[in-house]
Amino acid sequence: MKQKREFSTVAEDYLRAVYSVEEWHDEGVGVTELAELMDVVPSTASENVRKLREAGLLDHRPYQRVRLTEKGRVEAVKMVRRHRLLETFLHRSLGFSWDEVHEEAEDLEHAVSDRFIDKLDKALDFPKMDPHGDPIPAKDGSVATTSNPTLLTAPIGEDLTIVRIRDGEPEVLRYFEQRNLVPGTTIRVLDRSKVTGVIGVSINGNRIDVSKGLGADIKVTPAPEEN
């Protein structure tokens, strides 16, 4: 028997979108920004937010940002787990590039059962991170949390390892990959322009200038010391 979904595809997509923003900024998301993420007009986003608020999944007051309720967060984490496990499977097992897996996973995540996801998790040997370095929630809903800085606040002049890249537009991910700005790469922040916000980083002795906007999409941690 096919598993019956408790919430609509639209509801699940909205919850995961809000979660993805809160995960990086913990301040919710504006309706206009949410509309852009969902590729709809603001009035449509506003109406869907209203429905999800009435269902107890979102918290939203006039002129304030949209946030997940506790109930909404539980459901969002389920979808995030599905999405990131599918991304990992597509990348590891089927050879999809990391800029392709997001859209493919979006198509699949609503179609597969919880049992399928659990078996996929086991087949992949319970991965902790997806191809972008995003933590994959466990079956019990727990999520590994870190306080790694982005390039906007990372220390200057120290060796750092990229641990996470925001899962965004394919062309942005391709831009990062072409410059080896990917999880696992060791970099060093050289300087930050107070005028333009551009961040100069070094990879293997080569300088790369990263815009402030893209720098906010890259999280780093101190590089391990060489023995």
Q: Is residue 31 within 8 Å of residue 41, measured between CB atoms?
A: no
Residue-range definition of the domain harbouring residue 44: 1-144
The 10s digit of each residue's pLDDT in 101-153 is 999 999 999 999 999 999 999 999 999 999 999 999 999 999 988 889 999 99
Looking at the fold, whether 110 and 174 belong to one and the same domain comes out as: no
Q: Is residue 138 part of a domain?
A: yes
Domain count, the chain: 2
Q: Which of 144, 171, 193 is the last residue of a domain?
A: 144
Whether 227 is in a domain gets the answer no
| Termini Cα distance of the chain | 56
Percentage of the chain modeled with pLDDT above 70: 97
**Whether pLDDT at 227 is above 70:** no
pLDDT at 5: 67
Is residue 202 helix, strand or coil? strand
Q: Which residues of 22-54 are buried (b: 16+ CB within 10 A; e: fewer)?
A: beeeeebbbbebbbebeebeeeebbebbeebbe
Looking at the structure, tell me whether residues 168 and 212 fall in a common domain: yes
Q: In sequence order, what are the residues at sequence separation of 6 or more whose Cβ sits closer than 8 angstroms to the Cβ of residue 42? A: 31, 32, 35
Indicate if 108 and 215 belong to the same structural domain: no
DSSP string, 122-172: HHTT--SB-TTSPBPPPTTS--------BTTTSPBTSEEEEEEE----HHH
Q: Are 45 and 34 in contact (CB under 8 A)?
A: yes
The reply to whether 19 falls in a domain is yes
Considering the chain, what is the average pLDDT of its residues? Answer: 93
Report the distance separating Cα 63 and Cα 214, nearest Å: 27
**Mean pLDDT within 150-158:** 95
Q: Is the pLDDT of residue 1 over 60?
A: no
Q: Is the model more confident about 27 or about 165?
A: 165
Q: What is the pLDDT of residues 199-214, one digit of tens each?
A: 999 999 999 999 999 9
Identity of the amino acid at 79: M
Tokens of 114: 């919880």
| Whether residues 89 and 182 fall in one domain | no
Please compute the mean of the pLDDT values over residues 89-102 and round it to a whole number: 95
Indicate whether 45 and 94 sit together in one domain: yes
> Is 108 part of any domain?
yes
What is the token pair recorded at 211? 């815009």
In a domain, 151, yes or no: no
Is position 24 within any domain? yes
- Indicate the pLDDT class of residue 24, thresholds 50, 70 and 90: confident
Please check whether residues 74 and 101 belong to one and the same domain: yes
Average pLDDT over residues 174-181: 94
Q: Are residues 115 and 208 in the same domain?
A: no
Q: Domain for residue 153, yes or no?
A: no
H/E segment holding residue 101:
helix 101-108
Residues 183 and 118 in one domain: no
Residues 78 and 134 in one domain: yes
We report the CATH number of the domain holding residue 164 as 2.30.30.90
Q: Are residues 130 and 163 in the same domain?
A: no
Residue 7: pLDDT band by 50, 70, 90 thresholds? confident
Surface-to-core class of residue 179, CB atoms within 10 Å of its CB (0-12 exposed, 13-18 middle, 19+ buried): middle
Residue-wise pLDDT tens digits, 37-56:
999 999 999 999 999 999 99
